[in-house]
Structure 1
């Protein structure tokens, strides 16, 4: 099948590859040259825009759940999802071993920047043509820092003339969205496409305020020549969306057979400890100046990017260059419960025996809590750390230059590719966390609570226990300003003779990290806590003795270099027009970024690596598979094996990781079409374990946390043109909450449903239900075992949201 909005060279490849009986599916992501999938020794998938829209994803992470082999924990809202592939670990957050791209270049060089995960800066709208994925294989050598694979969001480019305007509203939740796109040819050689969206509303969870507010605009202009093309494109994203983190849920039973239940007054898949009454975070900024930040900003990406893509023919060589500069900033602000316990227990822990409680704000401000055990029907309080993180700059500049040529060699054809990749990624962030005290109440009604000692002295100030992360032991008042330079020459050879294709590729990455970091966590006598009159009343209160500051006069340098080789080789045998088999072995790596800092791997005196191996985590992979495509049936089955090194840091648990994993399994995906009925489906079975751990040997032999044995997806639908109806099913079997393999996260099946109707040819009316049966499905939990009080902090996917859309095509 030809891809209307693929690059020009991919269009030409597709035309040349068309077989007389079967449509051709061209892959253009993380490969040397666009090829029919049956002629490649790699595992690939693509999701077309129309099919994506039917399933009504509420975030890009929910799109990724429908890609075989991808584990996308889509419970963080519009961003902050944990994403992995084929059993590769999620040691902290984000997408460490998997790169997210837009139009062939990475959104961020590193997909797991702390509080700056790559998916935060991605939005799907009518600009999207398709999502294409490479799993394993050539991803190790055709992209840096992505040994597990690449997910590429490909934009429309005006090849198909026309556009649409679509309005969407939530029926059982508050969200209002308008989006549009339009593309056309200005002449035989000039075309454009533009589009975007704006939305506002509370969002899928009950917050008590508009948590979602903002939008995106994208454009591109393409000029074609007889020998190639040049494309200019840009993006502006300014959006706000709440960041959902693990929240309290009651768990009974045993760790092996737990029963997860809602807490009275709080629904795990609809509520969050964000509230109309908890909107201001009083703190010190990165220069230790007093500021008040708005917690309602949530995940606030601000992206301004401009790129150029060009291709030309120089003799027999095809030269392609992609360049993009992205100015990226914003903030990540949300509430995280460091501890949830009975109100009386927390009062005693903070204020001593006889401590009393009262409301600090909200409709009951100043009112004493006379019966802590009956508070809100659950008797609970939450000690919350406000994750207030300024993303001063995550600017990214990237260029990918490659040359490609096909030689006639003997009876076959040799495809040769050489290239050079260069990027510069800035990580300039400030962690401005505070500690507050809140009751546990849903529907956006939670309020701050004050504690007084038995003698009447105040422990808290307006609900603030500390103007720093005292609940985390006073850690984490941090400032980063580090630039990461990545350079990578690469080359590949692929020889096609008859039914056999043999290929090999290599990449040499060398890079550097240069800058400074500051924080009391670095030790060396650096002081991170002081007393300061925050409210300006001339008196230092108890809470004002716990004010976190950044030791600006004693930063630590970051100054190290690294290098490594990646390689991949594979063979494909297409023994029939409709079927092929392949095998591949690869070694790739991921250079560690900001999560390596503030730990033992980087010297705080000269900024160099304590161990050269600390900068790089290698991934070795092998895969063997078969592909079948005939008529309306497509079947792909791949066996895989991977061995992964990982060094990491998780902010919520303040845990460093240094270990090795092994995983193997089977991955299936396929599709079937017969008249108006179609079915796409996929499943991945994985057996993974921790095979070595330097810092915590007790977990060796255990299954990595949140790694299920089976993940699956299926979309059956019936489409007669004017009317379509179907479901989208995603699910997983059970997994362990943490690496200690105690508390289990139950398996779940989530069903989404859609119906579309065209009363007239250019008018589409759609009804979509996300999580139709309102399952409470947990993707992660902070606690390794059921605590004595039975309260576990876990993160659920959103509950049922039903929306309706009206789209006018023109």
Structure 2
């Protein structure tokens, strides 16, 4: 029997053993539903913490930094993407890079995002990772998860036990916890955009089918052009989720769940903005932003009716066509959970899920390039002498604009991103007289497939935010060098990126924890042993055939790269250990102090391929052994308190933290960067320290909640000496959110302000981006029972700005063009909902 089959059988045997008790137990009294959470603020009354923990303590009694954010608090915040939801969590710095479809950069506590994605932050759905690795190239964890009415609350654990109760997420775990029908009722609603084209229908319902059988089902359907006013229907998708639970009286439950996601969202790549700056001490301080002529970064897009589809060449050398779908994930999941109490002392819990995931990442990237830098350059062996419109109303005319876009269009086909995950744990609770002792032993197994092919095509189009046309290049002798704006196939970033990968990673991780609680003192220790098995192949590009392509302007002969016959083999295992120690002292029933130290590992997966890390037989070479795992070491101390104040209630949590990291990684996109930031092999040391604070205040009909994080982060070591001692790019030292609201019953009104201070666009700290504050707001009117009319606005003051890194093209001594993914401008939606 294979190891994977044996692991599956272990889980099935455990489920079968407990199910044998179901017939007699189901006649007993159903498990009481947990207390309903206050839905008006992130800092609600404590639920039992189930994320990255022993699962038997509230926030106040847990020696970890944990947040619980309710369904309604998230809806009131008016997020336009999953990334914006994470701004409600202290310590999490989420940087929009591509819009609501995913591909965000998610950092935590000053630990920077090195190459993109979510390297040290794991996303979970009902306790199981969405993907094994958060930063899979063109397959990040936020591609595959959507917030909707099915979510009861989001829990987030930063640092500490995230190292030992989860794999590949030593920085933080963010868990979407589903409704399960324990609270009967539901909601249907429709929302429509006011100042752009998009409509969405949401609905959910849960109830009991019998005293011991309950269910919940819900989802959404949406379509439109999106807030960047793309000229075709770029938004289209749906999700349906459901579960059914058989309660086993006081002994536990058995649950089966399913999910289907098929969602297409445009990507919001770089957008240009005019800036003025001062220059002092080698640092260009951007003072302000103003719209680029013809391209307002708040609402413009380089996706267009003129590039709605584009030509590609397959890995085998066949000419085809891809639709500009943005990020388009398809996921079908089926799973279940077993929770069974064997008397008063032992509990078995098992979560299991199989997910089939695939589809496409197809978009148009953007890079501001002076036209003068293209004229006179060499393309396909010839000198560019002129540029003409390839399509659009000016088709055939000479292009005379000062700037254009010369970043590639890209089509990544995600052939198979599916996974199998299982987490089985046995918990024992004992009374030792002087203290209560809880011991837990678990086994986590997850297999992650990564099968993709990449098509990265050099192209040129005009720099405008409304239906930009494609541009064709011509040589000084009149030879056409591109067609439909493309000047080649699969060859924009060199041979590394005309790639095909077929990889499988299996993580087998036994873990153990011990907790001792007595006399107000709570001590715990936990350890996790990850064993990663990597199998598969990867291949990069070799020169392929030339293709003769004809468009309206004529015929061009375009070179290509296709996947070569030489493959890189992966066949190795890597083991490592993570641990965490924590202590909490309950000063009173409403106040506690805690401390924790931990060390967690994070395995480098697909980003290590085609980077010189493997021997011919697939084993790790010397470089690969050193860079296979990155470790984060963290220390934290905190205080938690809550109680009455002025006729209402308050809660306050403050945590001090430190973190250390040596990050070894590989970023192929750096090859085209100017020195000294052009080495794709990254090996940097980082340190950070700071404070997190969460405040909740509820006085009658008024509520005020807020989160703030301060972090002092520095690069402590690097082969690039110029960045040592610098602040990592895109890492603010202070970021915050403040949300007041007033609910009078017949109506409710609220706002939320979120912002950050200045950040550097690069690790050399030569361009500083000013901090910005963004304000959202909502109004709700309830004219009759169960009916609610809503109005929500995101970025109320239409602030033009950026949250992350970027690049600056200088146009004068104190002027330039800055480019990165901009924050969307003012967007407004109206809704009507019926609750039942």
Under TM normalisation by the shorter chain, which class is it? over 0.9
Alignment of 1:357 onto 2:387? yes
Report what 1:524 is aligned to. Answer: none
1:204 to 211, 227, 239: 227
Deviations 1:528-555 (A, max 9, x none): 4442345699x9834x1x212111x211
Q: Does 1:698 align with 2:722?
A: yes
TM-score normalised by L of structure 1 = 0.92
8 Å CA contact retained: 1:531, 1:540: no
| Structure 1 position 162 matched with structure 2 position 163 | no
* Contact 1:14–1:26 (CA under 8 A) maintained in structure 2: no
Query: In the alignment, which of 334, 351, 356 is matched to residue 322 of structure 1?
Result: 351
Q: Distance in 2 between matches of 1:785 and 1:594?
A: 32
Contact 2:627 2:665 (C-alpha < 8 Å) held by counterparts: no
Give me the whole-angstrom Cα distance separating, in 2, the residues matched to 1:783 and 1:669. Answer: 34
Q: Deviations over 1:47-82 (max 9, x none)?
A: 100111112211111111111111011342111111
Tell me, yes or no, if structure 1 residue 656 matches structure 2 residue 681: yes
Distance 1:438 1:750 in 2: 31
Give the corresponding residue for 2:334: 306
SS of structure 1 residue aligned to 2:698: strand
Of 485, 496, 508, the match for 1:487 = 508
Residue in structure 2 matched with residue 554 of structure 1 by the alignment: 566
Shift of 1:607: 4.5
Aligned-pair distance for 1:648? Answer: 2.2
Instruction: Say if 1:23 and 1:468 are closer, same or farther in 2 by CA, change over 3 A.
Output: closer
In the TM superposition, what are the counterparts of 1:210-609 in structure 2 within 5 Å?
A: 210-226=233-249, 227-254=251-278, 255-258=283-286, 259-295=288-324, 297-315=325-343, 316-337=345-366, 339-350=367-378, 355-369=385-399, 372=400, 375=401, 379-443=402-466, 445-470=467-492, 472-473=493-494, 475-520=496-541, 527-534=542-549, 541-542=556-557, 544=558, 546-551=559-564, 553-603=565-615, 606-609=618-621
Answering whether residue 820 of structure 2 is matched by residue 790 of structure 1, we say: no
Pick one of 149, 173, 177 that aligns with 1:126. 149
Normalising by structure 2, we get a TM-score of: 0.90
Q: From the superposition, tell whether residues 651 and 480 of structure 1 become closer, same or farther in structure 2 (CA, over 3 Å).
A: same
Q: What is residue 34 of structure 1 aligned with on the other side?
A: 56
Which residue among 634, 637, 653 is the counterpart of 2:651?
634
Q: 2:698 aligns with which of 635, 657, 673?
A: 673
Between the aligned partners of 2:459 and 2:30, the Cα distance in structure 1 is 56
Root-mean-square deviation (CA), in Å?
Answer: 2.2
Contact 1:713 1:730 in 2 (8 A): yes
Equivalence for 2:11? none
- Matches of 1:24 and 1:126, distance apart in 2: 21
Mapped partners of 1:805, 1:166: distance in 2: 7
Secondary structure in 2 aligned to 1:122? coil
Return the offset for 1:14.
7.5
Using the TM superposition, give the Cα deviation of residue 132 of structure 1 relative to its aligned residue in structure 2, in angstroms: 0.6
Unaligned runs of 5+ in 2: 1-28, 37-43, 672-679
1:666-691 Cα distance to aligned partner (Å, 9 max, x none): 11011000001101101000001111
Offset of residue 207 of structure 1? 1.6
Distance 1:106 1:473 in 2: 33
Q: What residue is the counterpart of 2:113 in the other structure? A: 90
Deviations 1:217-246 (A, max 9, x none): 101000011321110000000010011122
1:18 corresponding residue in structure 2: none
Q: Name the SS of the counterpart of 1:549 in structure 2.
A: strand
SS at match of 2:536: strand
Distance 2:599 2:384 in 1: 61
> Which is worse superposed, 218-227 or 452-461?
452-461
Instruction: Give the secondary-structure state (helix, strand or coil) at the position aligned to 2:397.
Output: coil
CA distance in 1, matches of 2:180, 2:702: 30
CA contact (8 A) 1:743 1:786 kept: no
Taking a change above 3 Å as real, the CA distance of residues 570 and 421 of structure 1, as seen in their structure-2 partners, is same
CA contact (8 A) 1:743 1:785 kept: no
Hey, what's the Cα distance between the residues in 2 that align with 1:664 and 1:488?
A: 30
What is the CA-CA distance between 1:786 and the residue it aligns to? 4.7
1:799 is aligned to: 825
Corresponding position of 1:643? 660
Partner of 2:779: 755
What is the distance in 1 between the residues matched to 2:45 and 2:240? Answer: 34
CA offsets 1:624-673 (integer angstroms, 9 cap, x no match) = 00000113110000000000121223354343311111000011011000
The one-character-per-residue Cα deviations of 1:310-354 (angstroms, maximum 9, x if unpaired) are: 1112343100000001101011111123x4233343233246778
Preserved CA contact (<8 Å) 2:661 2:685: yes
Q: Distance in 2 between matches of 1:560 and 1:528?
A: 30
2:801 aligns with 777
1:686-732 per-residue CA deviation (whole Å, 9 max, x = no partner) reads 001111113x2321111111111101011100111221101011110
**Judging changes above 3 Å, is the alpha-carbon distance between structure 1 residues 148 and 354 closer, same or farther for their aligned structure 2 residues?**
closer
Give the 3 Å change call, closer, same or farther, for CA 213–278 of structure 1 in structure 2: same
Assess, with a 3 A threshold, how the Cα gap between structure 1 residues 23 and 485 changes in structure 2: closer, same or farther. Answer: closer
SS class of match (1:561) = strand
Once the 2 structures are TM-superposed, how far is the Cα of residue 620 of structure 1 from its aligned partner?
0.3
Mapped partners of 1:70, 1:780: distance in 2: 14
Give the secondary-structure state (helix, strand or coil) at the position aligned to 2:626.
helix
Return closer, same or farther for 1:720/1:536 CA change in 2, 3 Å cut-off. Answer: closer
| 2:67/2:155 contact within 8 Å kept | yes
1:728 alignment partner in structure 2: 752
Match of 2:789 in 1: 765
The corresponding residue for 1:137 is 160
- Note if contact 2:549-2:556 (Cα within 8 Å) is conserved in structure 1: no
Aligned to 1:617: 630
Cα distance change of structure 1 residues 324 and 366 upon mapping to structure 2, 3 Å threshold: same
Q: Tell me by how many angstroms 1:39 deviates.
A: 1.2
Partner SS state of residue 798, structure 2 = coil
* Aligned-partner Cα distance in 1 for 2:606–2:258: 28
What is the CA–CA distance in structure 1 between the aligned matches of 2:574 and 2:368, rounded to whole Å?
A: 43
How far the C-alpha of 1:26 sits from its partner, in A, is: 2.2
CA apart distance, 1:206: 2.1
Q: CA separation in 2, counterparts of 1:412 and 1:77?
A: 50
Contact 1:281 1:434 in 2 (8 A): no
- Structure 2 Cα separation of the partners of residues 148 and 672 of structure 1: 28
Q: Once the 2 structures are TM-superposed, how far is the Cα of residue 797 of structure 1 from its aligned partner?
A: 1.3
Contact 2:808 2:818 in 1 (8 A): no
* Structure 2 Cα separation of the partners of residues 701 and 432 of structure 1: 38
- Does the CA-based 8 Å contact 1:246-1:336 persist in structure 2? yes
- Contact map agreement 1:477 1:528 (CA 8 A) in 2: no
Q: Counterparts of 1:516 and 1:666 in 2: how far apart (Å)?
A: 44
User: Structure 1 pair 25/311, CA: closer, same or farther in 2 (3 Å)?
Assistant: closer
Whole-Å separation in 2 of the counterparts to 1:353 and 1:429? 35
Cα separation, 1, equivalents of 2:106 and 2:356: 24
Residue 103 (str. 1) matches residue 126 (str. 2): yes
Counterpart-to-counterpart distance in 1, 2:152 and 2:685: 38
CA contact (8 A) 1:246 1:780 kept: no
